[in-house]
Amino acid sequence: MSAAAELAPGVTPELHEQVMAAAERIKAWGEAAERSARDEVNQPTIDNWLEAIGLDNPRFRAGEAPPSMAQVWTMYGLGGRPAADDPLHSMMGALTEAGFTAVLGTNCEQTYDRYLRLGERVRVTTALDSVVGPKATAMGVGYFVTSRNTWYVDHPDGSTERVASMLFRVLKFIPRTKGSAGE
């Protein structure tokens, strides 16, 4: 491929190398951006979740949290900001700087190792799993960015237990303009 050739419309080999170098640098951080839940797993928050999604399971009123709540416990909150070492936000920033300004969530895959129990306090880490592209999509040309979140509970005896994980994938892209390829 010549230096002037493009990998996909709008992406030169130099731009691709820049994106992939950023991805490799960020991947090397491993599990980073660790943060603890603001609150312990608690019944009022579980009750609000159950009400919001329209679920009423006696199991979740008797000391356990729905597995799908894993992410709830470690959300930033209204005023929260990602840490400087957050791999997902760092990769998104690198792509924005490279001209990939739009984002579209594509999918997430969650794994639950066990149910959380009242009184436990979880913590989460984030790692950059992969950056794939460039890909020409109906939305525009971009990269699929996959991060991996892992939730842990630390026990009084000093042991740590993984309780859930999630692969989260987004497309970070240059929006297609009217009249561009595929229209």
DSSP H helices in 39-180: 43-53, 87-97
Asked whether residue 2 is assigned to any structural domain, the reply reads no
pLDDT of residue 183: 47
Residue 18 lies in a domain: yes
Does residue 115 belong to any structural domain of this protein?
yes
Kindly tell me the sign of the dihedral angle through the C-alpha atoms of 87, 113, 105, 52: negative
Please give the average per-residue pLDDT across 144-159, as a whole number.
96
User: If you average pLDDT over each of 5-19, 72-86, 157-171, which comes out highest?
Assistant: 157-171
Residue 183, domain member (yes or no):
no
pLDDT at position 2: 43
Mean pLDDT of the chain: 92
Residue 28 lies in a domain: yes
pLDDT in tens, 96-144: 999 999 999 889 999 999 999 999 999 999 999 999 999 999 999 999 9
Domain holding 171: CATH number? 3.10.129.10
Cα separation, 169 vs 171, whole angstroms:
7
Q: Which residue has better confidence, 88 or 177?
A: 88
Section 79-95 average pLDDT: 93
Which residues span the domain enclosing 69? 13-175
CB 70 within 8 Å of CB 112? yes
pLDDT (average), residues 13-30: 97
Mean pLDDT of 42-71: 93
Q: What percent of the chain has pLDDT over 70?
A: 93
Does residue 7 lie in a domain region? no
Query: Structural domain tally of the chain?
Result: 1
What pLDDT score was predicted for residue 10?
82
Is residue 81, in this structure, part of any structural domain at all?
yes
Residue 66 is given by DSSP the state: -
148-167 mean pLDDT: 96
Return the pLDDT at 26: 98
Residue 65 lies in a domain: yes
pLDDT at 4: 46
**pLDDT of 1 above 50:** no
